[in-house]
Amino acid sequence: MNKTTKIYIAGHNGMVGSAVWRALSALGYTNLIGKSSKELNLRNQAEVNAFFTAEKPEVVVDAAAKVGGILANNENPYPFLMENLQIQNNLIDAAHNFEVEKFIFLGSSCIYPKYAPQPLKEDCLLTDSLEPTNQWYAIAKIAGVKACEAIRTQYNKDFVSLMPTNLYGSYDNFDLKSSHVLPAMIRKFHEAKKDNASVELWGSGTPMREFLHVDDMAKAVVYAVENTLEDNLYNVGTGVDVTIKELAHTIQDIVGHTGNVVWDSSKPDGTPRKLMDVSKLKNQGWQAEIDLKSGIANTYQWFLENQDSFKGKDAS
């Protein structure tokens, strides 16, 4: 790999894709390609094939996906399944047919069974049933992992899947109807801070979650771009988790909210625990660097600087 290698980052305007773009640019990569959804509809196979014909990327990073939290997944099962299948299938197939040298598929820790032994190892994939609230997204991502594995097995191509734990950071989604737990908490505590109002949060607060700053995720992608990994599937995380209540108190302290926190136990908790076993990628030479408090503080600062752009979007 050299600095002029043509690298296509699918989903380059999203939180993960933009972080990967920044990380590669900072290292001097000068031949990066990105197309907005208006410029290239990744759900359209003909458009994707035409793009690969014209641009001939040498490396593809698939950071494009339809994503959301428990509420969004519950209310929109079909698009979370079908749109993700369409996006990744078109990209994977085009990368294979147009002789792309390296393909990096990004997924999520939700691909693993709901009650898999902790910490989650890569080989527990498909050993039990999924968490019902996000099974649609998970099934799509599992299909992507297996497609990359099939190409790697049959054609000996460098197709690798990276499964991050819960991501957060700059350019996150702070829409209260579709965001994940950490950015949603940042916004809720911030908006309640002014009047010292109570903040209502879903569930019991007892589930444990692991959180990875998106800049660390981007560095993991860069590592996969610059190195040949031995296997097809790797977890990406910190290897450290906290309860949702601990997360809430951490965010509350950083934001400066001093009101009450009310837990609505009638709402679903999701998977009891999702801690990643990150030893496999660590043994390859990569590990996370950003601790949770520093990462949340950094994310809250980004939120403060960009909050005007979020106003009025929750009704869309």
Active site residue ranges: 137
Distance CA 91, CA 94 (A): 5
106 is known to lie in a ligand binding site: yes
Environment class of residue 221 by beta-carbon count within 10 Å: exposed (0-12), middle (13-18) or buried (19+)? buried
> Do the annotations mark residue 237 as ligand-binding?
no
* Residue 165 counted as an annotated binding residue: yes
35 is in an annotated binding site: no
* Residue 69 assigned ligand-binding role: no
Q: 197 CB contacts (<8 Å, ≥6 apart)? A: 259
Q: Are 103 and 64 in contact (CB under 8 A)?
A: no
Q: Does 202 show up as a binding residue in the annotation?
A: yes
257 annotated among ligand-binding-site residues:
no
37 has binding-site annotation: no
Return the amino acid letter for 86: Q
Whether residue 209 is annotated as binding a ligand: the answer is yes
Does 208 belong to an annotated binding site? no
> By the 8 A CB rule, do 263 and 179 touch?
no
Residue 167 is assigned to a ligand binding site: yes
Q: Tell the burial category of 73 from Cβ atoms under 10 Å away from its Cβ (0-12, 13-18, 19+).
A: buried
Q: Per the annotation, does 107 bind a ligand?
A: yes
Annotate 287-316 with b (16+ C-beta within 10 A) or e (fewer).
bbebebeebbbbbbebbeeeeeebeeeeee
Phi/psi-derived region of residue 70, left when phi > 0, alpha when psi is between -120 and 50, beta in every other case: alpha
Q: Is residue 164 marked as binding?
A: yes
Q: Is 91 annotated as a binding residue?
A: no
Asked whether residue 180 is marked as a ligand-binding residue, the answer is: yes
| 161 in Cβ contact with 233 (< 8 Å) | yes
Residue 74 annotated as lining a ligand binding site: no
Find out whether 166 is annotated in a ligand binding site: yes
Q: How many Cβ atoms sit within 10 Å of the Cβ of residue 269?
A: 15
Binding site for NADP(+): what residues are annotated?
Answer: 11-17, 106-109, 141, 164-167, 180
- Sequence ranges of the binding site for substrate: 188, 202, 209, 269
Binding-site residues, please? 11-17, 106-109, 141, 164-167, 180, 188, 202, 209, 269
